[in-house]
Amino acid sequence: MSRFSADGPMLESEQVPLGRFVPALGWRWLTPLYDGLLRLGGREKTFKGRLIAQAGIRAGEAVLDLGCGTGTLAIELKRRQPDAEVVGLDGDPDMLGRARAKAHRAGFPLRFDEGLSWNLPYPDATFDVVLSTLFFHHLDRPGRSRTLVEVVRVLKPGGRLHVADWGRQTSPIMAVLSFPDRVLDGLERTAPAFSGQLAAEMAAAGLSGVAETGTVDTGFGRLTLYAAWRR
């Protein structure tokens, strides 16, 4: 759930805006609290379990956990489907260190890469499935657009994207519960996700069959599950 701003200088070698990296929860000193907060109030097992079930990962499929954070989703996916090839990517080296340590303790030798979502370090048509949880709402609009184009690029034809992220808070209670997270992550930055625009942005990037597949109420607001395919 690490955050990036797509506004920044251009590298002559890559011609890709690197932008300013901001750790999850806004401050590096809060990173150790991340897993505990998500477990206690985020119904993490519920929404990540539903996303994995929705994705229907098969043996031999290559899967990217985009914005993998501390690796909980990647580890659980590997536990459920040990014959899948699972790779996690995040821009936060602190989070990745925690992910590698967790995977080692769990007995899963998973690969975790450091990189930016709008400049994915993988060849075209690498993955059968891309999963992402609580990541897209952190990106600004240009960052989301470029990231979704990159997702389309690295997906194989017929590949799937499955996302769990904040969506419309149609319940007044959920709207109140989500407000601190919106303030922490930036009201302007998160507004498109909380107003339900992510599905339209997926379609604009060239993904097909985009659908909101369900919601999960948490202590931090209402999550929406999405599914889409590469043509």
pLDDT at 19: 44
pTM of the model: 0.85
Cα 219 to Cα 41: distance, rounded to the nearest angstrom? 5
pLDDT at 185: 84
CATH of residue 166's domain is 3.40.50.150
Count structural domains, the chain.
1
pLDDT at 109: 85
pLDDT category at 20 given cuts 50, 70, 90 is very low
Residue range 73-112, pLDDT digits in tens? 999 999 999 999 999 999 999 899 999 999 999 999 899 9
Burial 18-48, CB ≥16 within 10 A → b, else e: bbeebbbbeeeeebeebbeebeeebbbeebb
Domain that holds residue 101: 3-230
pLDDT at 135: 95
